[in-house]
């Protein structure tokens, strides 16, 4: 694996921390916001920030022709609307660390969907990965069912979100895109934010926009850091780093989410959380990290 420059290493560490810390920080926001209103507002704010930044960098920001607009809709449905919309409902029902563990089963489902629908080969490594993921999900489901106030439905929401992300990843890899990736992401976020806001108005009570200082801070984080700075860092790293290095970052995200939750929202992991986290890390490593 190529040696990382100091700038790339710092960027990778920052990205992992941003993505990991975002899970318990979302729980702070959900103390005073309904899930869909929260997601729509922060996603639209982040999209506007990204649009201004990428436009200043000279990126073409307007899709051209029916094909590029179709790519925005088709790829945005699973990658942004499905993943972000379903996952925030899962976060509302589960501890932050547990939601992070379940969300980052995505790489395994990506490979499994490729086997089922795109005729990729089912290998022994994939069998180990699927077994590890199922073991982790079983541990968390057992823990939720054992609690009087447990929410097994939250596990289903998170797995539906992970499957949407996995399917969107496959479609993204196979799409012959003519639209700059930065522009695609901005418009996928805009379209998804509008759709989520419409669902929020239909399904959730009216939202009051008067919040405590911690919730305002969490909203600023979600817009500026999660949907803003993290995306900029990711685009810079994605062009320069090998896939195996990105995989190691993905594996670290649920660890950061689990370990930071006690400090941010007072949610302490139990042994099932730690065992499930280990299962998911083994699974991701099995499917994404190449031998040697």
In a domain, 211, yes or no: yes
In a domain, 9, yes or no: no
**Each residue of 24-63: pLDDT tens digit?**
999 999 999 999 999 999 999 999 999 999 999 999 999 9
Output b/e per residue, 75-111; b: 16+ Cβ within 10 A: bbbbbbbbbbbbbbbbbbbbbbbbbbbbbbbbbbbbb
Q: How far apart are the first and last CA of the chain?
A: 9
In a domain, 200, yes or no: yes
In a domain, 94, yes or no: yes
In a domain, 12, yes or no: no
In a domain, 62, yes or no: yes
Containing domain of residue 118, as a range? 17-288
Q: How far is the C-alpha of 121 from the C-alpha of 169, rounded, in Å? A: 18
pLDDT at 291 over 60: no
In a domain, 63, yes or no: yes
**Each residue of 73-124: pLDDT tens digit?**
999 999 999 999 999 999 999 999 889 989 988 888 888 888 888 888 888 8
**Each residue of 145-194: pLDDT tens digit?**
766 455 788 889 999 999 999 999 889 888 898 999 899 999 999 999 99
In a domain, 104, yes or no: yes
**Each residue of 110-122: pLDDT tens digit?**
888 888 888 888 8
pLDDT range class, residue 266, cuts 50, 70, 90: very high
Q: What is the pTM of this model?
A: 0.88
Which single residue is written with the structure tokens 């499930």? 276
Domain count, the chain: 1
């Amino acid at each position: 694996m190529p040696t990382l420059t100091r700038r790339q290493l710092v960027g990778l560490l920052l990205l992992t921390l941003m993505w990991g810390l975002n899970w318990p920080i979302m729980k702070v926001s959900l103390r005073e916001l309904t899930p869909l209103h929260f997601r729509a507002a922060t996603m639209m704010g982040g999209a506007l920030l990204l649009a201004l930044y990428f436009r200043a960098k000279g990126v073409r920001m307007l899709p051209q022709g029916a094909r590029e607009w179709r790519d925005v809709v088709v790829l945005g449905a699973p990658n942004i609307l499905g993943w972000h919309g379903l996952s925030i409902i899962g976060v509302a029902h589960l501890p932050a660390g547990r939601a992070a563990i379940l969300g980052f089963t995505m790489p395994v489902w990506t490979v499994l969907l490729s086997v089922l629908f795109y005729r990729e080969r089912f290998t022994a490594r994939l069998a180990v990965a699927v077994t590890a993921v199922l073991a982790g999900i079983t541990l968390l489901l057992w823990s939720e069912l054992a609690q009087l106030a447990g929410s097994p439905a939250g596990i289903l929401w998170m797995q539906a979100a992970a499957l949407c992300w996995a399917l969107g990843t496959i479609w993204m890899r196979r799409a012959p895109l003519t639209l700059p990736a930065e522009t695609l992401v901005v418009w996928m976020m805009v379209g998804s934010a509008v759709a989520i806001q419409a669902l929020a108005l239909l399904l959730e009570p009216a939202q009051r926009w008067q919040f405590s200082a911690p919730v305002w801070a969490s909203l600023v984080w979600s817009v500026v850091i999660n949907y803003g700075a993290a995306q900029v860092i990711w685009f810079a790293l994605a062009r320069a780093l090998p896939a195996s290095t990105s995989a190691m970052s993905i594996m670290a995200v649920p660890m950061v989410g689990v370990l930071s939750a006690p400090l941010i929202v007072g949610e302490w992991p139990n042994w099932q959380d730690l065992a499930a986290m280990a299962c998911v890390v083994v699974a991701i490593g099995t499917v994404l990290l190449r031998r040697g």
